[in-house]
Amino acid sequence: MLALLPLPARADLRLCNQTGSKVGVTLGYRDAQGWVTEGWWDLKPRACETLQKGVLAAQFYYVYAVDYTRGGEWGGRAMMCTRDTAFTIRGVEDCLARGFDRNGFIEVDTGQQKNWTIQLSDPGQPVTGGP
């Protein structure tokens, strides 16, 4: 006898680069142990990347991105730690004293959805998203 069980719904956080530039992306969020920032994901023009697989860890995510082709960045008011090379950093306090850079991240409210895609458009345009 064969039983068919429903597959779990896909629940990922993705980012799509809607620009004509190659961009570098970092992500910040709060999990059960506190604040985390991670990076870098390199996205080709008009490409998408999964930044977090599975159930979203938070309602609010924070994005900081750099335009490698034309220069410029996407940033906001939420100050978090980064570094120039691949990283996972715990905590957002004392970035410079701990040897990290400090950058402003844009807040993205997922509305507690299980699946979310962030759309990154040209600098000066709002960062948007949806399930």
Using alpha carbons, list the distances in angstroms from residue 5 to 2, 8, 12. 10, 9, 21
- pLDDT at residue 68 above 60? yes
The two beta strands, 78-82 and 101-109, are antiparallel
Beta-bridged to residue 36, according to DSSP, are: 29, 90
- pTM, two decimals, is 0.85
- 101-128 residue pLDDT tens: 999 999 999 888 888 888 888 765 556 6
Using alpha carbons, list the distances in angstroms from residue 16 to 9, 45, 114. 20, 9, 17
Domain residue ranges in the chain: 13-123
- pLDDT at residue 5 above 60? no
